[in-house]
Amino acid sequence: MPVEILADIIRQRLNAITPAAALQEVVEGYYGYTCGETNEKLWATLDGHPVLIFLLNPPYNIEFTGANTATLEDAFFCCYGLLHTYIRPWKNDMRLLVVKFTCNGLYRLLQQPLTAVTSTPLISIAAIWEEAGIQLAKQVRSMAIPEEQAAILDTFLLSRLPAYKEAAYLIQQAVAHIREHKGQLNVRDLCLQLNVNYKWLERNFKKQLGITPKTYISTIRFLHAYLNTGNREESLTRIALGHGYYDQNHFIKEFRKHTGRTPSLT
């Protein structure tokens, strides 16, 4: 999704609509967002948690470029990481509704590994839920009030919530620990904290989130550093060292890996 939305979620500038109680282990929240007009392509990224995005006004499509090239309509999922992925410029007042899943919420909803569902980080809602997904997108955008949109989503997702819930508390605990430390730890520390071995942790991370714990840690650490690049009072060196990078060059290398660009404080 556009990094500006993710930044506002991380900084708690957006108020989430809370899902139904039975969905709260699956869905973190529903976020309405209106994007301003841009003449430049937008960096699209995730914080390791999958999202489902509904396009609420015409032309109901969005075009991605870069490492992941796709034109998606109505609604679509973003999974895994989005390295070097951008959204083409769009007109003013583009309205979106973002369903942000918990770390392993989409896995628990679908009851299968994300890698078995899709090999690409961008996938249409129809590819997952076929005609029912297309109709859901139409129902959601037919409602003008966010709470009404959330109610439709609650009903749909509850109907697909499996009766059997696989225990996944250790992965949730791992994710919470990573986010608490803003990604400034390594996988060995995480294994010691959880009292699990590396192979178990990697296997279950990939099964439930579609990415490795190392990738998740790297993503969280980079996003926290990235948000500080807008602070003109902070040098790149201070930002790098303050977020656990060896030096400025290490941070620049990570910046290029995630965005395909070099950092700027302007």
Domains of the chain in sequence order: 3-159 (2.60.120), 169-259 (1.10.10.60)
Instruction: Specify the higher pLDDT residue, 153 or 38.
Output: 153
Mean pLDDT value across residues 50-59: 93
In terms of pLDDT, which residue wins out, 221 or 232? 221
- Residue 126: pLDDT band with limits 50, 70, 90: very high
Q: Note the pLDDT tens digit of each residue in 74-110.
A: 999 998 878 889 998 777 678 899 999 999 999 989 8
pLDDT digits (tens, 9 = 90+) for 158-176: 999 887 666 678 899 999 9
pLDDT of residue 176: 94
What pLDDT is stored for residue 114 in this prediction? 82
Q: How far is CA 208 from the centre of its chain?
A: 14
Structure confidence at residue 40 as a pLDDT band (50, 70, 90): confident
The average pLDDT across 228-240 equals: 82
For tokens 């714990």, what's the residue? 213
- Model pLDDT, residue 1: 86
Specify the 3-state DSSP secondary structure of 215: helix
Show contacts of 110-114: CB within 8 Å, 24+ apart: 111/162, 111/166, 113/206, 113/207, 113/208, 113/210, 114/50, 114/79, 114/80, 114/208, 114/209, 114/210
CA 204 to CA 199: how far, in whole Å? 9
Most confident of 41-55, 162-176, 252-266: 41-55
Helix (H) or strand (E) holding 208: helix 198-208
pLDDT at 266 over 60: no
The answer on pLDDT for 43 being more than 70 is yes
Pick the range with the lowest mean pLDDT from 39-43, 133-137, 190-194: 39-43
* CA distance from start to end of the chain: 23
Average pLDDT, the chain: 89
Compute CA distances 248 → 223, 236, 243, 245, 261, whole Å.
16, 6, 11, 7, 15
Q: Report the pLDDT value the prediction gives residue 26, as an integer from 0 to 100.
A: 93
Q: Positive or negative CA dihedral for 79, 131, 86, 149?
A: negative
pLDDT of residue 265: 55
Q: What percentage of residues in the chain have a pLDDT greater than 70?
A: 95
Instruction: Provide the pLDDT for residue 133.
Output: 95
The pLDDT of residue 167 is 61
